[in-house]
Structures are given as C-alpha cells and as structure tokens.
Amino acid sequence: MASKVAGWISVLAICSLFVAVFQVAGVSAQTQSNTYTTYNDYSPSANNYALDGLYCATYDSDQSLAWRSQYKWTAFCGTAGGPMGPSLCGKCLSVTNPSTQQSVTVRILDQCSNGGLDLETDAFNAIDSNGAGYQAGHLYTTYTFVDC
C-alpha cells in the first residue's frame, strides 16, 4: 500500500512540475498565427476612452483613464487563450504582421465574430505600413498573449 501511495505522490509531483512549466511558458502556449485581423473605428480618444457598448465594459468600466488609454484596443475572437469571456477582458496581446514584421501591443476590451481580431484602426495602421491590409480589408497576423 505504501508503494502505491508513493507512486501516486510521484505522479502528482510530475504533473505539478508540468503545470508549473506550462504556466511559465504560457505565453508561447498562447500564440496564434495566420489570424484573420480586421479594423474597427473605436475612436477611444474622441470618446475619452469610455468603454460604453464594449463587451468588457461590464468588467473593466471602473478602470482608470490611464489604464484604458495605455494600449490600443482590440476585439478578440481568436482561438489561443480560449473563447472570449470575462477572463480575457483587459489582457494584452502583441500582434505582428508577418509581411511587415511590425508589431503593436493591444488590450482586449471587446468581442468580435470574425474568428480573429478586430483592432482599433490606429493599431491596424501601425502594423500595415505597406497598405496591403487596408486594400484587402484585413491582414493575417500572429498574436501572443503578453503582460500588460
């Protein structure tokens, strides 16, 4: 009986180690490439960064102006990180356009239905320096969850 208990303890220790490693490496585990990315005219500065009408307004409306204006905004409906829900509100993504190698950090404040990302127009333009995304109406990007 003692050897079975010791065996289970060893299994639990190994599982705990894997969980810890995945938590440390969680950023790489939450990366998605070839993500359909569009743009949306949220106009946050014109609206004093009010979250009215956004999915995350219920969860983040009490955040300070400094918090709301620190990063450009995005709607999230990607696959890495799980489905859009309250736990993703306020999280940040580094979004890269592989064709220009330009990146921008954005904060998730809304949900979308395009299957990818819906970036604030300024964020989209920041990574679309060649204008190909604007001409096509979308980009294919890579995003990674990052610390805000």
Q: Which residues pair with 139 in a beta bridge?
A: 37
Q: What is the DSSP letter of 87?
A: G
Residue-range domains of the chain with CATH: 31-146 (2.40.40.10)
Q: What is the mean pLDDT of residues 42-48?
A: 94
Query: What average pLDDT does the segment 27-46 reach?
Result: 86
Beta-strand pair 117-120/31-40: parallel
pTM over 0.85: no
pLDDT for residue 81: 67
65-95 as b/e, with b when 16 or more CB fall inside 10 Å? eeebeebbbbbbbbebbeebeeebbbbbbbb
